[in-house]
Structure 1
């Protein structure tokens, strides 16, 4: 594969991940910079909290889409015979990781982004759809039971390498297992403050069934 083509797709994955959906949407439609309210995080959860369910859902879906799209850039390389089928998973993981890095450190807003969970979900959907559905189910059930987005994200992320290792969907793939644990560690690192608040019992809850309000 030519270095130039790899550089273009590599950069494309980062720029897709860097799109600050919550910031641009919040400022463009509400005149509100979500980074100046709530947790100060430029992600879907804070958008839910500040701008309401509709805005939060739109931001989340776009963040999922950008993770999925960036990961699928590997299919372009495969389509143009730049990589073989045996390399496809590796490049999907590489481009997906780059998109997540872009979401956490976005070039468009001075490298201060979100925690990357929605973008990670988009990546996982592109890498292994069945496992992604399991993770989504665990996320939803945990969220319904606890109303903690942070706890739901951590447990859902942990489910990916665990179910991969158990071979629930076939023979365990060492690359998938390793990727899953790396993602779990990354999510734990980006949720350190949330974990501390969970342990202290003062983590923010999300009112899933209450009235949607702008809190600005």
Structure 2
């Protein structure tokens, strides 16, 4: 029963992360597969570019929700006494990571997904909501000033382990700090092409206000 419940929640976290929100929403409501347009990425940013702000916002919110829900599956293990309170954070991180892997490599669309930033945000909200709000603030500020989603994502992700290490919300937790830096490395790796375009000045911008795009 103990292993069975763990296996069910583990697989459930992956399947939640694997939900290809942008692909299903784009095809279902617009008849457009976002993977065949723009950057070819199956994520919220490309959805913003191809299908507009409303569609992009819906996709982003659902991707955040699936990351949050998958991470909170650890609470089921705690509720059924499979794990103790001291293990809850570790299992939240495990399930959140599994959901992010699901988003990047979704079983439903031949393992070709997005970059996992929105799903990561949902995970962070479930793991440490206060730090998540700081990261969101940094993301929004950077996006408004630079109009680069990729740069905003990387800086916001880096903020999590840095502020955690500085003890912004109490005594630093080693697990959170390590997790944060691992996530930052993962986000950087999934944004390698964006980094190249940023350095060459060819990265696409997302305009929050107005309809003009670059």
- TM-score using structure 2 length: 0.98
Q: CA deviation at 1:81?
A: 1.1
Equivalenced residues, count: 213
In 2, the alpha carbon distance for the partners of 1:128 and 1:22 equals: 26
Aligned residue number for residue 198 of structure 2: 198
Counterpart mapping for 1:38-117 below 5 A: 38-117=38-117
**What's the offset of the Cα at 1:212?**
7.9
Alpha-carbon distance, 1:207 to partner:
1.2
Alignment match, 1:124: 124
RMSD: 1.0
> SS of 1:169's equivalent?
coil
Residue correspondence of structure 1 range 173-192 to structure 2 within 5 A: 173-192=173-192
Structure 1 counterpart SS, 2:152 = helix
Equivalent pair of 1:34/1:50 in contact (CA under 8 Å): yes
CA–CA distance in structure 1, aligned partners of residues 20 and 124 of structure 2: 20
| Residue 17 (structure 2) aligns with | 17
1:53–1:212: 8 Å Cα contact kept in structure 2?
Answer: no
C-alpha distance in structure 2 between counterparts of 1:151 and 1:209, whole Å: 18
For 2:60, what is the secondary structure of its paired residue?
helix
In structure 1, what is the Cα distance between the partners aligned to 2:64 and 2:58? Answer: 10
Return the alpha-carbon distance in structure 1 between the equivalents of residues 43 and 29 of structure 2.
16
Structure 1 runs (4+) greater than 4 angstroms displaced: none
CA distance in 2, matches of 1:5, 1:77: 7
| Displacement after TM superposition at 1:210 (Å) | 1.5
Who is 2:156 aligned against? 156
Residue 172 of structure 2 aligns to a residue whose secondary structure is coil
State the shift of 1:211 in Å.
2.3
Q: Partners in 2 of 1:42 and 1:64 — Cα distance?
A: 14
Match of 2:145 in 1: 145
CA contact 1:96–1:120 (8 Å) conserved in 2 = yes
